[in-house]
Structure 1
Amino acid sequence: MRVRPDQPESTIYDRQHFRGPRPVDAEPSNDALLLGFSFDGDAPPEPPRYLVKHLLPAEGVAILGGQSGAGKTFTAVDLAACLGTGEPFFGRRVVERVGTLILAAEGAGTLAGRIEAARKTKAEGKPLPIAWMGAVPNLADVEEVKTLLPKIRAVDAQMRESFGVRLGLIVIDTLAAAFALKDENDAAEAQQALRHMRMLGEPLGALVLPVHHYGKTEDTGLRGSSAYRGGADAVLSVLADRKQVTGEVGARSLNLAKTRHGEEGPIAGFSLRFIQLGVDEDGEPFGACVIDAALDQPPPSLIRQPPKDSLPIVALRGAFDEVLVTHGREVKVRGDGETVRAVTVDEIRDEFRRRYATGEEEDEKVRARVRQALKRALDACPKHGFRTAAWNGEEWLWRA
């Protein structure tokens, strides 16, 4: 290797065996280079630490997500009550009794009633180690987070003194209300929000549980960036069948959508039960709801729902029932087969069109679309309890 006379010794590289440039006599020790690496056999595996066994980790960030009106905050309050009493949460063992702080960026006015209802049903009316805060600062601002930390430590100290438990859960309700994010879909902002949440929980070894909305449908999962799900240690989903027009909600269930340990999937269905807390000035009862978990029934998400009929089948079924009353007659299939009560396809065309193209003015495009829809419905008849056949110049339709 040629060396220039003016070349400093520190820049002389040993290129033997094509190992690339490396300062001569400047290589750190092997132990220093391997700092931070782990090798199989260095230490035995340790079991994961849980707040709720096989459900929620003892610390980190878990997300409680779900549709609007499904019961997310009721679920969070029920979790806080179970952690405060040590009673199982949805049948899962509470590993450690801890206190809960709820940062209620929205809905703070409803918490007193909801917590009192939970106290009546789970703690025999005794105070629970639950605190809440309504005036939540902008948690997207790191300085605001730092200002909040000593207040959280004070809540922890008060819970140890008053209840003999540490502060182990910090609920943020909701993520969108507590973090003034410019764009929920921005991955960098999502990752920053997750870092700030860990800042809140790590000094106390507490789990941080933000409540977050789902997208327009449950299939879209957590609203916004996929970084929320990717960065969380666990995701609990509160699902329900909700009719957007009427506001009716049913088939509520709690599901484990993500965990770093164990198996994901449905946990249990639940309903909301009203607990009366008093009467108002008009003598009418007021109160709040609590969670009633249906542990003895399969979760709604495991119950296979029958597929919904397509619009052409719905129109065909309605048209058949309507026309059968006025035009139905007893005929023999193909002239000499079994006797059935049937109508001709021509007899149901007008009624099918009325039901399929409701409110549309008839033109050639609509007529062509109706003809194609009727053809698809007739082709699918055998799968929906109907039979068709042609004889004597007519196409007949009857129920199997």
Structure 2
Amino acid sequence: MGVKPDQSDTIYERTRFRRPHPVGSEHGVDAALLGFTFDGDAQPDPPRYLVKNLLPAEGVAILGGQSGAGKTFTGVDLGVSLGTGEPFFGRRVVERVGTLILAAEGAGTLAARIEAARSVRASGKRLPIAWMGAVPNLADPEEVKALQPKIRAVDARMREEFGVRLGLIEIDTMAAAFAMKDENDAAEAQQHLRHMRMLGEPIGALVMPIHHYGKTEDTGLRGSSAYRGGADAVLSIMADRNQVTGEVTTRSLNLAKSRWAEEGPIAAFALRFVQLGTDEDGDAYGACVVEPKMDEPPPSTRKAPQKDPLPIVALKGAFDETLLTHGRDVQVRGAGETVRAITVEEMRPEFRRRYATAETDGDKAAATIRQALKRALSACPKHGFKTAAWNGEEWLWRA
């Protein structure tokens, strides 16, 4: 279906968005001030969101994460939320809009993923979601220009069939859609961001490329830092992935960057398999859907248990080993409670064996080990041990 003849080239009504007016447009003002805005000449407008305090109404927002974390599933879930108007990870959908997915990879899986998601969240009814598998090279500005009228046509059909505008354009994935020469080149990254804005700005849509993280989640978005710097928002999918088995656990959605909203963890989530049918062998087929865990703290906010310092690690191991061979029941200070204990001298050889030092000089190594044991004994009360001296011996036992 083409664009209606009475529709203008720019379908999206932009007159309701006020922008600061440049000082110097009045007659007689020095032309050198054209383009400048002075404090008090423009009133600040509240930020406009698609999803309140999460995704802006237009611009570029990147959805990033490691392989297997659930980026595409989250992108589909976002499209369902925008199409139904239901909250996305507990955040209010400000405007119900349609979603277009430019699926440069994995297009063959989208039908099942979208059907599974809408069967769970939209009672199976059709939603304003469309996708395109044969994505042109978006690094080519001519290809981007050629794609613009097609995007307008999708916008027109969504308005006619669903009564909503096209508000989100997802690109899955950025690496597959852009023929990148050098992913780390800042100038190339800025060009790609400009092309994304070329896709969204004519209709006032938010463009959200899906991008991989580096080898570890600590490195953030793969490639040039210009991607993060030029984006209006960055959503981060975090997860613990076993690279040997492929098992992925503790998934969570986080707002890693925003020009307006408070950044930080949003919520944990899981992927649940939804059966859509059976194949010719009677085996189930289907797709996973996102299940936010709004009643659980995000994994990134959970305090990881502090690792014991090396002297304590050596002391715990040496204590357990020595207790097997030298442990006996004694009364604290000869008249107190009865505890299973050892002497520090009995444990010292095992501690020396367990505590590694980089010293090559024997005397220096011995001195380093003595100091390490001294620090460990001083810190014993914080790690579940007690010490006391009586009858000429220093004793050690578990509290």
Q: TM-score, normalised by structure 1?
A: 0.81
Q: What amino acid does structure 1 have at the position aligned with 2:263? A: E
Q: Which residue in 2 is equivalent to 1:206?
A: 205
1:347 Cα deviation after fit: 4.8
Give deviations 1:1-24, integer Å, cap 9, x for gaps: xxxxxxxxxxxxxxxxxxxxxxxx
Q: Which residue in 2 is equivalent to 1:113?
A: 112
36 and 246 in structure 1: CA distance in 2 versus 1, 3 angstrom threshold:
same
Q: What amino acid does structure 2 have at the position aligned with 1:79? A: L
CA RMSD of aligned residues (A): 3.0
When structure 1 is superposed on structure 2, of 380-389 and 195-204 the one drifting more is 380-389
| Whole-Å separation in 2 of the counterparts to 1:228 and 1:82 | 26
Q: Which residue in 2 is equivalent to 1:160?
A: 159
Give deviations 1:336-382, integer Å, cap 9, x for gaps: 5543212344555676678777xxxxx979x8798786666545433
Q: Which residue in 2 is equivalent to 1:285?
A: 284
SS in 2 for 1:239: strand
SS in 2 for 1:75: helix
Q: Which residue in 1 is equivalent to 2:260?
A: 261
| Whole-Å separation in 1 of the counterparts to 2:76 and 2:286 | 15
Q: Which residue in 2 is equivalent to 1:100?
A: 99
| Whole-Å separation in 1 of the counterparts to 2:138 and 2:276 | 34
| Whole-Å separation in 1 of the counterparts to 2:373 and 2:222 | 39
55 and 330 in structure 1: CA distance in 2 versus 1, 3 angstrom threshold:
same
Q: What amino acid does structure 1 have at the position aligned with 2:61? A: A
| Whole-Å separation in 1 of the counterparts to 2:395 and 2:134 | 70
1:56 Cα deviation after fit: 0.8
| Whole-Å separation in 1 of the counterparts to 2:222 and 2:318 | 41
Q: Which runs of 5+ in 1 are unaligned?
A: 1-27, 358-362
Give deviations 1:39-97, integer Å, cap 9, x for gaps: 23333322221111111111100111123222211111100001111111111111111
SS in 2 for 1:30: coil
Q: TM-score, normalised by structure 2?
A: 0.82
Q: Which residue in 1 is equivalent to 2:331?
A: 332
SS in 1 for 2:269: strand
| Whole-Å separation in 2 of the counterparts to 1:225 and 1:92 | 30
SS in 2 for 1:200: helix
Q: Which residue in 2 is equivalent to 1:320?
A: 319
| Whole-Å separation in 2 of the counterparts to 1:74 and 1:313 | 44
| Whole-Å separation in 2 of the counterparts to 1:355 and 1:108 | 55
Q: Which residue in 1 is equivalent to 2:55?
A: 56
Q: What amino acid does structure 1 have at the position aligned with 2:161? A: S
| Whole-Å separation in 2 of the counterparts to 1:333 and 1:377 | 20
Q: How does 1:137-216 map to 2 (within 5 A)?
A: 137-216=136-215
Q: Which residue in 2 is equivalent to 1:46?
A: 45
When structure 1 is superposed on structure 2, of 224-233 and 333-342 the one drifting more is 333-342
When structure 1 is superposed on structure 2, of 377-386 and 253-262 the one drifting more is 377-386
294 and 133 in structure 1: CA distance in 2 versus 1, 3 angstrom threshold:
same
| Whole-Å separation in 2 of the counterparts to 1:169 and 1:161 | 17
105 and 317 in structure 1: CA distance in 2 versus 1, 3 angstrom threshold:
farther
194 and 383 in structure 1: CA distance in 2 versus 1, 3 angstrom threshold:
same
| Whole-Å separation in 2 of the counterparts to 1:89 and 1:263 | 17
1:307 Cα deviation after fit: 1.5
Q: Which residue in 2 is equivalent to 1:20?
A: none
Percent identity of paired positions between Structure 1 and Structure 2: 80
Give deviations 1:115-145, integer Å, cap 9, x for gaps: 1111101111112211122232222222222
Q: How does 1:240-255 map to 2 (within 5 A)?
A: 240-255=239-254
Q: How many residues align?
A: 369
Q: Which residue in 1 is equivalent to 2:127?
A: 128
1:322 Cα deviation after fit: 4.3
* 1:387 and 2:391 aligned: no
When structure 1 is superposed on structure 2, of 116-125 and 274-283 the one drifting more is 274-283
Q: Which has the larger radius of gyration?
A: 1
147 and 351 in structure 1: CA distance in 2 versus 1, 3 angstrom threshold:
farther
Q: Which residue in 2 is equivalent to 1:86?
A: 85
Q: What amino acid does structure 1 have at the position aligned with 2:125? A: K
Q: Which runs of 5+ in 2 are unaligned?
A: 1-26
Q: What amino acid does structure 2 have at the position aligned with 1:215? A: G
Q: What amino acid does structure 1 have at the position aligned with 2:329? A: E
Give deviations 1:258-285, integer Å, cap 9, x for gaps: 2111322222222222211112333222
222 and 330 in structure 1: CA distance in 2 versus 1, 3 angstrom threshold:
same
128 and 397 in structure 1: CA distance in 2 versus 1, 3 angstrom threshold:
same
Q: Which residue in 2 is equivalent to 1:65?
A: 64
